[in-house]
């Protein structure tokens, strides 16, 4: 494959083995200047060493970018997604998916600031992330060149990667027990793929889970917390105002303590194959439950139902990498418009892997006890329900008179029901 003429490339760089190999490979194969970009998304690992590693490869200090993106990540990406109560295929809270548009955005910003003509990532040719990164790049800068080493090089095995690293003096960390799984982490979640998980019938070992205690080992006493919402976003826990990232960090701590947020799923990747993954999303699991609870008393019925109908489409757009698309922005505007009155507090009970809503309150609540009470009331005439029912049944009544054979076929043979 003929190499393009690239002068400078911005690499999404973690400082780990794979991206260190990519850094060296870019220098050798493209002969270009490399700019490294390391994002702190709250992944729980030290990002500062990435600078020292980049310097060892001859990267100029002014070409090394390490950015703390935790607040922007939660405020501008996680929270908007949770306003929609977003879940992909019924279970996945999109922890990896929602981080990619932010990383893409920052790479393009750095490329423009440094005069780079290319961006590069370490996603493989089998996964979703290559699509997510590159759709982001090209949405934000259609002229940018994209280098995806996994689709170009012949280092297609762990053995070849290690040989390349040894040949080029790339440090291979040996300290501590290294997880055998392919993992991704940020403030919203941690994911595990590969190794024994490639057999969807093989239960993962307990020591795979790095964040949460097992529900069996969680405290035997339930814990209560209260989350305050303003315009659909959580703003305080137990009466203490917090920033977006700080709120998610606190909810993660609660969730991890009580064994909340573990899932084991087989999902449908955008590129075509099914993939088995395990995820820990402790704070997100709590947020989803709480947000639906506050919406239950502040949203109109049809408004809430339409949101639920739109959500799978919205989730699919994020999963497939279309965060920057006009259709996602359109849906976001509709979703955000519903959140004006989503204000109030939700009380939750956390216990052994469970999140239970035990209270919800809002000054803008649409819940009317005087209308829904089982006791005597003066605001609702139960006799009105007869006309309501007959009007809704009118088409059935007409059909029964005009096409009685259809009704008879639905009723069936009553004799077959006799004992």
Per-residue confidence band for 337, with pLDDT thresholds at 50, 70 and 90: very high
String of DSSP letters for 345-368: EEEEEEETTEEEEEEEE-TT----
Residue 405, SS3 per DSSP = helix
Render pLDDT for 81-111 as a digit per residue (tens, 0 to 9): 999 999 999 999 999 999 999 999 999 999 9
User: For residue 1, is pLDDT > 50?
Assistant: no
Residue 259, SS3 per DSSP = coil
Render pLDDT for 340-374 as a digit per residue (tens, 0 to 9): 999 999 999 999 999 999 999 999 999 988 888 88
pLDDT for 157 = 77
The answer to whether the CB of 129 falls within 8 A of the CB of 19 is no
Angle at CA of residue 28, ends 27 and 31, nearest 5°: 60
User: For residue 415, is pLDDT > 80?
Assistant: no
What would the mean pLDDT of 48-73 be, rounded to a whole number? 95
Per-residue confidence band for 173, with pLDDT thresholds at 50, 70 and 90: low
Could you confirm whether 276 is annotated as catalytic? Answer: no
pLDDT for 377 = 84
Rg of the chain, C-alpha, whole Å: 26
More confident residue, 32 or 406: 32
User: For residue 37, is pLDDT > 90?
Assistant: yes
pLDDT for 265 = 97
Per-residue confidence band for 174, with pLDDT thresholds at 50, 70 and 90: very low
In whole angstroms, give the CA distance from residue 414 to residue 301. Answer: 38
Could you confirm whether 18 is annotated as catalytic? Answer: yes
pLDDT for 44 = 86
Q: CATH says 182-299+338-361 is which class?
A: alpha beta
What would the mean pLDDT of 47-62 be, rounded to a whole number? 93
Could you confirm whether 301 is annotated as catalytic? Answer: no
Per-residue confidence band for 169, with pLDDT thresholds at 50, 70 and 90: confident
CATH value of 8-69+98-167 in 3.40.50.620, 3.40.50.300, 3.40.50.150, 3.40.630.30: 3.40.50.620
Average per-residue pLDDT for the chain: 93
In whole angstroms, give the CA distance from residue 347 to residue 360. Answer: 6
Could you confirm whether 182 is annotated as catalytic? Answer: yes
> Lowest-confidence range among 69-83, 91-105, 310-324, 386-400?
386-400
Place of tokens 């922005």: 329
User: For residue 418, is pLDDT > 50?
Assistant: yes
Render pLDDT for 214-226 as a digit per residue (tens, 0 to 9): 999 999 999 999 9
In whole angstroms, give the CA distance from residue 313 to residue 332. Answer: 11
Per annotation, catalytic residue among 76, 141, 182, 325 = 182
Per-residue confidence band for 158, with pLDDT thresholds at 50, 70 and 90: confident
In whole angstroms, give the CA distance from residue 355 to residue 288. Answer: 10
Per annotation, catalytic residue among 18, 40, 184, 233 = 18
pLDDT for 417 = 63
**What ranges do the domains of the chain cover?**
8-69+98-167, 182-299+338-361, 371-417
Per annotation, catalytic residue among 20, 70, 97, 100 = 100
In whole angstroms, give the CA distance from residue 216 to residue 278. Answer: 18
What would the mean pLDDT of 283-289 be, rounded to a whole number? 98
pLDDT for 192 = 95
**What tokens does 157 get?**
């095995």
The answer to whether the CB of 95 falls within 8 A of the CB of 82 is no
What would the mean pLDDT of 10-21 be, rounded to a whole number? 92
**What tokens does 307 get?**
């949101």
User: For residue 241, is pLDDT > 90?
Assistant: yes
pLDDT for 175 = 43
How many alpha carbons fall within 13 Å on the CB side of residue 255? 25
pLDDT for 218 = 98
Terminus-to-terminus CA distance in the chain, angstroms? 77
User: For residue 273, is pLDDT > 50?
Assistant: yes
More confident residue, 177 or 28: 28
pLDDT for 279 = 98
Per annotation, catalytic residue among 40, 104, 120, 129 = 129
Report how far apart, in Å, the C-alpha atoms of 31 and of each of 7, 61, 332 are.
8, 19, 42
pLDDT for 159 = 81
User: For residue 416, is pLDDT > 80?
Assistant: no
pLDDT for 372 = 86
pLDDT for 299 = 98
């Amino acid at each position: 494959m003929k190499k393009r003429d690239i002068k400078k490339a911005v690499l999404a760089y973690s400082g780990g083995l794979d991206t260190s190999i990519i850094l060296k490979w870019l220098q050798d194969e493209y002969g270009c200047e490399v700019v490294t970009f390391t994002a702190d998304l709250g992944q729980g690992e030290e990002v500062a060493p990435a600078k020292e590693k980049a310097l060892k490869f001859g990267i100029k200090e002014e070409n090394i970018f390490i950015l703390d993106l935790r607040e922007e990540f939660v405020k501008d990406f996680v929270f908007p997604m949770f306003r929609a109560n977003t879940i992909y295929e019924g279970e996945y809270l999109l922890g990896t998916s929602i981080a990619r548009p932010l990383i893409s955005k920052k790479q393009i910003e750095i490329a423009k600031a440094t005069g780079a003509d290319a961006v590069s990532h370490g996603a493989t040719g089998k996964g979703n992330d290559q699509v997510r990164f590159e759709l982001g790049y090209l949405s934000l800068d259609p002229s940018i060149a994209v280098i995806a080493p996994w689709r170009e090089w012949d280092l297609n095995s762990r053995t070849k990667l290690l040989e390349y690293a040894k040949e080029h003096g790339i440090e291979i960390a040996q300290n501590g027990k290294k997880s055998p799984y392919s993992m991704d982490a940020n403030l919203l979640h941690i994911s595990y793929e590969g190794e024994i998980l490639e057999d969807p019938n093989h239960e993962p070992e307990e020591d795979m889970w790095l964040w949460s205690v097992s529900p069996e080992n969680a405290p035997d006493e339930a814990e209560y917390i209260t989350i305050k919402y303003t315009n659909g976003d959580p703003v305080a826990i137990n009466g203490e105002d917090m920033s977006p990232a700080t709120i998610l960090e606190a909810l993660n701590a609660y969730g991890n303590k009580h064994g909340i947020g573990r899932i084991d799923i087989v999902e449908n990747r955008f590129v075509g194959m099914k993939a088995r993954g395990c995820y820990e999303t402790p704070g997100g699991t709590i947020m989803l439950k709480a947000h639906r609870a506050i919406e239950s008393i502040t949203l109109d019925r049809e408004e809430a139902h339409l949101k639920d109908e739109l959500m799978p489409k919205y989730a699919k757009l994020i999963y497939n990498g279309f965060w920057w698309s006009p259709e996602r922005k359109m849906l976001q505007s509709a979703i955000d418009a519903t959140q004006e009155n989503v204000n109030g507090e939700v009380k939750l009970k956390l216990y052994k892997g469970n999140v239970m809503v035990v209270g919800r309150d809002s000054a803008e609540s649409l819940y009317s006890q005087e209308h829904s009470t089982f006791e005597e009331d003066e605001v609702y005439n139960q006799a009105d329900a007869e006309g309501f029912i007959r009007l809704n049944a009118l088409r059935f009544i007409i059909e029964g008179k005009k096409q009685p054979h259809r009704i008879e076929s639905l009723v069936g043979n009553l004799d077959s029901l006799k004992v």
